[in-house]
């Protein structure tokens, strides 16, 4: 079986290559058409319905999104596309 090492807090951890992306993608797939919370590097957050995502980059499409800054709702969007590189986490 192919394996890989990932760096976490300065330590290399071995894990099977297949498990690196399987779990996040399973969580995203299970969250389709459900409300999610997304936080970006900029400190902005979005609460809305996950409408889609792409596999190589984990870009997200969120419908009926509420934009959150400093814990306060500032605006609403019908549809917003979030670039995967800017996402810190997605919470189902």
72 within domain boundaries: yes
Tell me which H or E stretch contains 49. Answer: strand 45-53
SS3 31: coil
Q: How far apart are CA 9 and CA 56, in angstroms?
A: 24
- The per-residue pLDDT for range 47-79, each reduced to its tens digit, is 999 999 988 888 999 999 999 999 999 999 999
Residue 87 lies in a domain: yes
CATH number at residue 44: 2.30.30.100
Full residue range of the structural domain in which residue 60 is found: 23-91
Note the pTM of the prediction, 2 decimals: 0.74
Total count of domains within the chain: 1
């Amino acid at each position: 079986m192919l394996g890989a090492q990932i760096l976490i807090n300065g330590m290399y951890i071995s894990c099977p290559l297949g498990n690196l992306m399987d779990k996040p993608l399973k969580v995203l797939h299970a969250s389709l058409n459900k409300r999610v919370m997304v936080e970006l590097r900029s400190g902005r957050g979005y609460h809305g319905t996950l409408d889609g995502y792409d596999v190589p980059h984990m870009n997200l499409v969120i419908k009926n999104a509420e934009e959150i800054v400093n814990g306060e709702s500032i605006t609403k969007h019908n549809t917003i596309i979030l670039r995967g590189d800017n996402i810190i986490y997605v919470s189902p």
